A and B are shown apart, each in its own frame.
Chain A
């Protein structure tokens, strides 16, 4: 049962081969046995989960079930869920039981899906290794001495270790794609604006986007069908017709034009990752695709641009955490200013404070033009690179991450080294394009390698088609770690 796809689970539930309550118990037992080793979950509330499963069983019995009714999903702990502890990986929110649901949570609830638990993450989604979580590092299920990636590392580890049917993530600079790659699962960050950000704790509002993380492209498509849609509570939510993201899964790939950016295969890419990606491109040629070399000349600049814009937005978004109406309150303080400073100094971790400081600096008087405005201008150049590239190809492919999962603690002391590991993913967020990662082989030490697929705006159905056809021809996505 734990190896079933979402379609298979839905069929089994509707055919009464298993009840939703039985399915939850199966997963909760598995989590109890394996989570101490992986630390993928921050919060489990079995009573809430089982009550929701009972309601799903009633819905199944009355024939009112939808595609995802009764299926256990884990939610990244960045999504506010009513009655659930919602920490965002931070001590600042160690006691925050959300009084409301994020739009994404409402969408899953309306579909009859069941919330299995809240997954671990880098604090406020700031990190690429899950080592910045206040609730401890997540371990990679393929090798527990290695990182799962970040910031959606708990989700990636939970999906890879089969501790949920599938789960949600969020991606500001690669936080769905990079952990998906490092844990050997599939994940897609849709076009900016397609999934509502309401109730998703904000990091960098012009870049943040939620998406599914699952075992296959097909599962991702079914989840996107539920997660997307207009929401007036998010001012950047796009008013578009609802679409079926699974509609093109079975189209053949004859004539597909794949663009390979030469900058993605240059210095800095590990040999093992390069080999796996090249073998994958060869497989795509067998499936009928043609390959064209393209250029994204400003790729290298995406890192400095991102580390101005994202911290600038974060410093503003995180100013709300003052410990007055909710969140962490320091035990001792003198006056109001002292209380704010101590709440924030004690409630935030090192990486979060570092980014707040960068953001505060670049937005401060005298530096705004040199940093913030310059970064916004280069952001446009980066977006224009993609517009130009898509004149010559249908999708862009390359590695998701320059290496496979690194060792826990390996990049601990130097934030710049950690930042450089997001070189292939960040530009996609800056442009607002959809991007995904699927497993495409194994590299050194038998660690998974991810293939990144970048699509044009609103081209998710085609990207999922491209991923699904590869997954029909290969079996990388079915490999599981021995936990």
Chain B
């Protein structure tokens, strides 16, 4: 299977990965190779087979609706790239 440049550009945008033309071309050729490997799956007849999403057939546990985490704002903000006045800084979003 062969991917187009447009396919790769679209995926890179969805995945929020900046890529230049060379990187797109390298990714296109490597991903095409990987999807050729993946294509082996398509020949398998899986009609009537239930998809297996998990190794154990478990239902989600319920827990009481109580606060379990302590407030560690200072510890968490100490490792942030940019903070000011207790807030995380990002480029302006709203004019």
Contacts and interface: CB of A to CB of B under 8 A. Distances in A.
A323 B11 contact: no
Interface stretch (A163-171, A195-203, A412-420): A412-420
Contacts of B58: 193, 236, 238
Among A373, A378, A383, chain B packs the most CB atoms within 10 A around the CB of A378
B61 A361 contact: no
A327 B33 contact: no
Contacts of B34: 307, 354, 358, 415-416, 419
Interface stretch (A109-117, A245-253, A341-349, A400-408): A341-349
Interface in B1-59: 3, 7-8, 10-12, 14-19, 27, 30-31, 33-35, 37-42, 44, 46, 49-56, 58
B16 to A, nearest CB: 4
B30 A415 contact: yes
A360 interface: yes
Nearest to B36: A416
A354 B31 contact: yes
A259 interface: no
B90 interface: yes
A301 B42 CA distance: 10
B93 interface: yes
Interface stretch (A59-67, A265-273, A330-338, A442-450): A330-338
Contacts of B27: 353-354, 357
Contacts, number: 162
B79 A99 contact: yes
A380 B52 contact: yes
Given A345-B17, A360-B14, A360-B15, A416 B49 contact: no
Contact of B31 (A97, A357, A378): A357
A303 B37 contact: yes
Contacts of B66: none
B49 A364 contact: no
A45 to B, nearest CB: 16
B44 A345 contact: no
B79 to A, nearest CB: 5
A329 interface: yes
B56 A380 contact: no
Contacts of A328: 81
B15 A357 contact: yes
A28 to B, nearest CB: 26
Contacts of A336: 90-91, 93
A307 B81 contact: no
Given A96-B79, A329-B82, A301 B16 contact: no
Contacts of A353: 15, 17, 27
B28 to A, nearest CB: 10
A308 B31 contact: no
Given A325-B80, A357-B11, A416-B34, A344 B75 contact: no
Interface in B45-95: 46, 49-56, 58, 60-61, 63, 72, 75-76, 78-82, 88, 90-93
B91 A232 contact: no
A324 B79 contact: no
A361 B33 contact: no
A342 B33 CA distance: 26
Interface of B: 3, 7-8, 10-12, 14-19, 27, 30-31, 33-35, 37-42, 44, 46, 49-56, 58, 60-61, 63, 72, 75-76, 78-82, 88, 90-93
Given A304-B41, A376-B53, 11 more contacts: A301-B40, A301-B41, A315-B15, A337-B16, A344-B15, A345-B19, A356-B15, A356-B17, A360-B15, A415-B34, A432-B54
